[in-house]
Every structure is written in structure tokens, then in C-alpha cells.
Amino acid sequence: MNGEIQPINGHETTIKVEDRLDEGQLDRLATGVTVDTADSATTTAPPVKPEKTSAIELRRGVIQILPVENDKQPRSLVILTNLKTLFQKQLPVMPREYIARLVFDSNQKCLAICKRGYKVVGGICYRPFEHRGFAEIVFFATASVDQEKGYGGLLMDHFKAHIKRTYPNMMHFLTYADNYAVGYFRKQGFSKEITLDRSIWAGYIKDYEGGTIMQCTMLPKVDYLSTKELVAKQREAILTKIRQMSKSHVVYEGLKFEVRREGTVEGGGEVGQNEEKVVPIDPKDVPGLRESGWSPSMIVRETRPSAKDLEKSTMKRLLTELQAHGSSWAFLAPVNVVDAPDYYDVIKNPVDFGTMEIKVETNQYPNLEAFLADAQLVFDNCRKYNAEGSIFWKNANKVEKVLKDLVSRLRN
């Protein structure tokens, strides 16, 4: 890869969204439950997911994705230097000298997201073992201020496409992921199950203490720059099959109610104003209900949940929102002493979202206030142990604000 560095940008296209069934209906259909779409709320098209900022910036040329290696060219050295700085900032556990040595090693290859010139906001450093059929991902990071823009997923998609194009016979990736990165790599198609024979990779990649080895195997027929379009086609095929076997897509005319005027009679004479009453409808006359297979015997008398059940449901909902937030990765599980040897000397009452989830499920919180106190302790502990301005400190502030907004909406 000598001479001028060329971008390997792909393109995003608008995906047509199915205009009949929403995600909730698909979930119910998948479990064998017939869905009645007569309700107007279920016949509207599901909301179109907004295009991620990373895809917009790529299309507009704000960012570009560049392959780079140490070929001694000035442009390459500038990008590699910026990559080294990014990795050193985002991977503080790794020795700075070790990062610098590998990034500038001529055996290593890199893929960088460059913004408005040579400002590096994300990158992968990897080593290809083409004769062994796999590559090791050594470093992977995106700038903390840009982590919610979707740079990570975009970079991984382009990395897979780049490897398929550059090394057609290399279909496997291996990497050691720390505890905070396991979830991300799993979303990108990596698994803790290593199917690649150990004799192929053992001795070729560095074994990191405290890391979890993960593997990703690419599919030959998949274009990783067009996965959204591929999923959209698969979704449409599933919906077409559902329509052949179900009437869930049929929309019936709305109900028409008969209104009757009634007056009150006292002492043989009519007094008072006439009162309008809606004539009840027999459930069997509801359009589409009988066709769905419903019968009166299926009526379930609902019991009102207790205040305790409602409070537990609220805790689960809040915790799910916190765990799903992009900045909560450091709070999902207990702090590993390998990463922070003195953590439990400083923090005497440790808590994390994983521990809170167990406490919710086992009814250890007497009320919502106790749950919120534990959540606040997560953020306070983080700010107590980590330096002000660090990525951990900033993420604690972000997720804390999310919780406060959720609780505020809950109580208003």
C-alpha cells in the first residue's frame, strides 16, 4: 500500500420501511400470537430511525475512512501519529510506549477515521496473518466526544469490507477485549466462542491479562457496507411470508356505535334532561375479532398490579434505560481489580448496574428511593475514584443527567 492513500468510503441509501406492522406486532407474531391490526394505532407505519451522524458526515465528506501503514510517507506518518495519540488517550491502561511501538510497526496496518483533513477521531490497528487466514485487532478506539455518533459501528463495517477486498482469503478476526468492550464487540458480530483451531492462532497473538479473547468470522456473500439494505430485504421477505399465513395485515373498518337517548321518570311524569347512552357492542360483532380466532372463553379478567409491583416495574424500566445508554459501559459490571488495583481501597461501598439488576430481581430494594440512592452511589463512586475531566468522570455526569431527566418525567 504505497503512494497516495485512497479513501474506502461506502454509501448509505434510504431504506424503505414496512408500512403495516410495527416491531411490537412482529414480536407477537414470532411467538405465534395473531395480531389484530384494526386499531388505528397499530396500522400506522413504524417511525423511521434517523440516519446516524456518522453516516451523514461520511456522505457529506466531513469524515473519510483511510487505510494507512508506516510506509515512511509524510501523510502516513501524520495520520499514524494522530492515531497513536488517540489510542493513548482512550486506552489509558495500555503503556504509552507499547502503543507507539505497535502503531509505527511496519507489520501493523491501520484504518483511521479522519475528520476535516487529518484529525483522527477513530481507528483500528490490526496485524494481518494472511497465510494463517486471520487478523488480530490490536487497538480499537473512537474519540470520547464522538462515541454517540456511531463512529464505532461505521468503522467496523468498513474494516470488514476493507479486509475482504484486500485479503480475500482472510475471513477471521481475533481480539482481546476488556470488560467494558465485550458488549460492543458482541454487537459487531464477535463471540467468546472460538471456533478457529487453536493451532492456527496460538503463539501468533499477544495474550493480555484481564482481557477476553473474542472471534468474528465474516460471511463471504455479505457486503458489510450494505447490511442495512440486506436486513431490509430479509424483513420484507418475512413480512411477505407472514401475510401468506396470517391476516394480521388486513385493516378493518372502524367501529360504529349506536347512541340512544334516555330520560328519567318519577311519579308518573318525565323529569330532567334526556341522557345519551352508548349501546354496548357484542364482542363477536367486532370486525376481524372472530377471524383472528378469538372466543369469549379467552377473556382474562385482569387484576390491578399492587403498588409494590408498579414500583419494581419502574425500577426495571429505569435500569434498562441506564444500561442501554452509550456512556454507561463503565458502570455495567463491578470494577475489575486488574484494571484498577486500588479501587476497593478507595471505594468502600461499590455498586454497579449489574449488581442493581440482581437486587431488583431479588426484591432487595424496599422502595424506589432506595434504588435511586444506589444509582446515585454509582456516579458518586466514579467521580470519587477518577480524575475530574476523565472519560469516566464525564460519563458519570452524562448518565446521571439521563437518570434525573427520566425521574423528572416520571414524577410530573
Q: Catalytic residues, which ones?
A: 136
pLDDT band at residue 359 using 50, 70 and 90 as cut-offs: very high
Please say whether the dihedral angle defined by the alpha carbons of residues 357, 360, 363 and 366, taken in this order, is positive or negative.
Answer: positive
Average pLDDT over residues 133-137: 95
Greater confidence, 406 or 4? 406
User: Which residue's entry shows cell 480499537?
Assistant: 140
Distance, in Å, from the CA atom of 12 to the CA atom of 225, rounded to the nearest integer, reads 8
Average pLDDT over residues 356-372: 94
pLDDT of residue 15: 35
pLDDT of residue 12: 41
pLDDT exceeds cutoff 90 at 365: yes
pLDDT exceeds cutoff 70 at 18: no
pLDDT band at residue 182 using 50, 70 and 90 as cut-offs: confident
One DSSP character per residue, 151-203 reads HHHHHHHHHHHHHHHH-TT--EEEEEE-TTTHHHHHHTT-BS---S-HHHHTT
Interstrand relation of 269-278 and 134-142 (parallel, antiparallel or unpaired): unpaired
**3-state SS of 80-141?**
HHHHHHHHHHHCCCCCHHHHHHHHCCCCCEEEEEEECCCEEEEEEEEEEEHHHCEEEEEEEE
pLDDT band at residue 144 using 50, 70 and 90 as cut-offs: confident
Q: Are 126 and 136 a contacting pair, CB within 8 Å?
A: yes
User: Which residue's entry shows cell 369469549?
Assistant: 296
pLDDT of residue 340: 87
Range among 16-20, 100-104, 234-238 with highest mean pLDDT value: 100-104
Distance, in Å, from the CA atom of 104 to the CA atom of 107, rounded to the nearest integer, reads 9
pLDDT of residue 349: 95
DSSP code, position 225: T
C-alpha to C-alpha distances, 364 to 195, 313, 358, 373, 374, nearest whole angstrom: 40, 14, 8, 13, 11
Q: Are 107 and 127 a contacting pair, CB within 8 Å?
A: yes
pLDDT of residue 291: 74
Alpha carbon of residue 256 to chain centroid: 43
Set of cell numbers at residue 330: 463503565
pLDDT digits (tens, 9 = 90+) for 296-330: 777 776 667 788 888 999 999 999 999 988 889 89
309 CB burial (10 A radius; 0-12, 13-18, 19+): exposed
Out of 25-39, 83-97, 384-398, least confident range:
25-39
pLDDT exceeds cutoff 70 at 262: no
pTM of the model: 0.55
To 5 degrees, how large is the angle CA 141–CA 142–CA 145?
140
pLDDT band at residue 375 using 50, 70 and 90 as cut-offs: very high
Beta bridge partners of 113: 65, 122
pLDDT band at residue 184 using 50, 70 and 90 as cut-offs: confident
Average pLDDT over residues 199-221: 88
pLDDT of residue 60: 92
One DSSP character per residue, 252-290 reads PPPP---EEEEEEEETTEEEEEEEEEEPP--GGGSTTTT
Out of 94-98, 153-157, 288-292, least confident range:
288-292
Out of 36-40, 125-129, 276-280, 306-310, least confident range:
36-40
| pLDDT-above-70 percentage for the chain | 83
pLDDT exceeds cutoff 90 at 252: no
Nearest to 123 by CA among 157, 159, 162, 83: 83
Residues 6+ apart with CB under 8 A from 134: 170, 171, 172, 173, 174, 196, 200, 201
Average pLDDT over residues 93-119: 93
pLDDT digits (tens, 9 = 90+) for 48-104: 567 889 999 999 999 999 999 999 999 999 999 999 999 999 988 889 999 999 999
Nearest to 159 by CA among 149, 170, 146, 148: 170
Rounded mean pLDDT of the chain?
83
Average pLDDT over residues 2-14: 42
